[in-house]
Amino acid sequence: MQNRRNFIKSGSLYLSALGTSFLFPTELLATMRKQVSANDKIQFALIGCRGMGFTNLLSFLKKSEVELVALCDVDENVLREKTAELEKANIKKPKWYTDYRKVLEDKDVDFVIIGTPDHWHCLQLCDALDAGKDAYCEKPIANSIEECELMLRKVTNSNRIVQIGQWQRSQPHFVDAINYVHSGKLGQIRLVKTWAYQGWMGSIPKVADSTVPVGVDYKMWLGPAENRPFNRNRFHFSFRWFWDYAGGLMTDWGVHLIDYALYGMKASDPKSVMAIGGKYAYPDDAQETPDTLQTVYEFDNFSLLWEHATGIDNGNYGRDHGIAFIGNNGTLVLNRGGWEVIPENDRPHWSQNNGPKIEAVPLQNSDANALDLHTANFLDALKSKSSSDLKAPLKVGYDAAMVCHLGNVAFKTGERIYWDSATKKLSNTEANSHLKANYHNGWLLPKV
């Protein structure tokens, strides 16, 4: 029980780390929603009802034309809990499903939110497209590079609208910062740093395998992942620290921050990657993914650095997370709190300081709710039926996830690996084996 309380506490801290605007009181929905004609309603279902899945749902429900049809989760306890939450906002009780395939058969559902663990994203998104549903899919788009490639082809060949939950693409101050980067004022940018220092993350004590909780369809929760006995460390929330289901902080926070690094540098495929790290903070705890990691990516004219550390908040430039574009004239530092420019000093003869090369930009803040803007952008694209209107189409999620997964592959091999962007292959057989999606329990990779 104490371990469960710790997980609940960790999940709350995780959401608060994303931003205070994510902690939205459900009761307020009742005052925000207006009557809308049945002809104007857009109906949806949520697949995976905890964490960001439910947070996304609340964001969508702030728009009166959106109507919740169904909740789907392998844990009936979660279905009861979230339905009770929605009752506070006078939301009509939705249909309940424990098998996402039944949701996709529901003719009342126009689009789905996919808020399940990473190892489910590929199957559920591809099946949603085959069922004629549009989708808002949580990041990272998949748990392997093979799945990322498949999903890109699948979405490209479909006429459905797919938004990835990299909501920073809709955050105004992030967009302003990238416009500054693209202005050229920083001069030649030779190095980009990205980092996530997550002080809220403590150790995950080892616990024994146990019986499956009442109301949980554990076989469906595992899906294509390896068949293992139930262990609550691998279940709700903390699944992300185990390779079967996710890629640790590298693919959790990394896709958000590396996405903007790539956006700022107008880049996608690295030439090579190397990584070093391990379980240094909590060497004997339960998690598999590294609690400390540094990854270096080589691009044509710059290097990209990623680093993360759990249990520590004091990151680069005094920020627990961020992106720094380091140019000859100055450095732009960006995170969810805002952005600023720190100029370099002009020293033509190395013996004197002639002042800053460019004008400093003080911290630029933003109080916009980027998630609400992101879900609204998705709805606008549904109405226009144009994927070009999306702020985070699948290709955005693909680029960020690919780079993050390559970082994990480099960590697993312990070698510098070389990426061929034309063949989508790495420089050695062992490294290439880590690109594969290894499906189990009778589940098969979707067909394109």
pLDDT at residue 18 in the model = 53
| Token digits of residue 72 | 């789907």
Give the separation between CA 124 and CA 43, rounded to whole angstroms: 18
Alpha-helical regions (H) of 223-253: 248-252
In whole numbers, what is the pLDDT of the chain averaged over residues? 94
Residues 243 and 130 reside in one and the same domain: no
pLDDT at residue 277 in the model = 98
pLDDT digits (tens, 9 = 90+) for 232-289: 999 999 999 999 999 999 999 999 999 999 999 999 999 999 999 999 999 999 999 9
pLDDT at residue 5 in the model = 44
Residues 230 and 301 reside in one and the same domain: yes
| pLDDT at residue 348 is higher than 90 | no
Q: Is 448 a domain residue? A: no
Q: Is 251 a domain residue? A: yes
What is the helix, strand, coil percentage profile of the chain, to 5? 40, 20, 40
**Contacts of 93 by beta carbon, 8 Å cutoff, 6+ apart:** 83, 86, 87
The length of the chain is 448
Q: Is 440 a domain residue? A: no
**Contacts of 420 by beta carbon, 8 Å cutoff, 6+ apart:** 426, 427
Q: How many domains does the chain have?
A: 2
Q: Phi and psi at residue 320, in whole multiples of 5°?
A: -80, -10
Report the share of the chain in percent with pLDDT over 70. 94
Overall average pLDDT of the 141-163 stretch: 98
Residues 98 and 127 reside in one and the same domain: yes
Overall average pLDDT of the 344-355 stretch: 75
Confidence class for position 22, pLDDT limits 50, 70, 90: low
Residues 286 and 333 reside in one and the same domain: yes
Residues 21 and 114 reside in one and the same domain: yes
| pLDDT at residue 3 is higher than 90 | no
Q: Is 132 a domain residue? A: yes
- 188 burial (CB, 10 Å; 0-12 / 13-18 / 19+) is exposed
Confidence class for position 351, pLDDT limits 50, 70, 90: low
Residues 142 and 26 reside in one and the same domain: yes
Residues 165 and 222 reside in one and the same domain: no
Give the separation between CA 138 and CA 167, rounded to whole angstroms: 10
Q: Is 441 a domain residue? A: no
pLDDT at residue 445 in the model = 97
Residues 323 and 247 reside in one and the same domain: yes
First to last CA, the chain: 44
Return the DSSP state at 170.
Answer: G
Residues 111 and 198 reside in one and the same domain: no
CATH number (domain holding residue 117): 3.40.50.720
pLDDT digits (tens, 9 = 90+) for 276-313: 999 999 999 999 999 999 999 999 999 999 999 999 99
For tokens 């420089």, name the residue.
427
pLDDT digits (tens, 9 = 90+) for 176-226: 999 999 999 999 999 999 999 999 999 999 999 999 999 999 999 999 999
pLDDT at residue 350 in the model = 63
Residues 324 and 342 reside in one and the same domain: yes
Residues 240 and 265 reside in one and the same domain: yes
| Token digits of residue 194 | 């990205």
CATH number (domain holding residue 316): 3.30.360.10
| pLDDT at residue 420 is higher than 90 | yes
- Residue 60, helix vs strand vs coil: helix
Q: Is 439 a domain residue? A: no
Residues 213 and 237 reside in one and the same domain: yes
Instruction: Decide if 125 contacts 104 (C-beta within 8 A).
Output: no
Q: Is 225 a domain residue? A: yes
CA distances from 129 to 16, 109, 160, 357, 400 (A): 32, 12, 7, 51, 22
Least confident of 86-95, 115-124, 349-358: 349-358
Q: Is 445 a domain residue? A: no
Q: Find the domain containing 52 and state its range.
A: 2-169+372-394
pLDDT at residue 92 in the model = 93
**Contacts of 34 by beta carbon, 8 Å cutoff, 6+ apart:** 64
Return the DSSP state at 213.
Answer: P
| pLDDT at residue 2 is higher than 50 | no
What letter represents residue 368's amino acid? A
| Token digits of residue 168 | 């920073």
Overall average pLDDT of the 400-425 stretch: 97
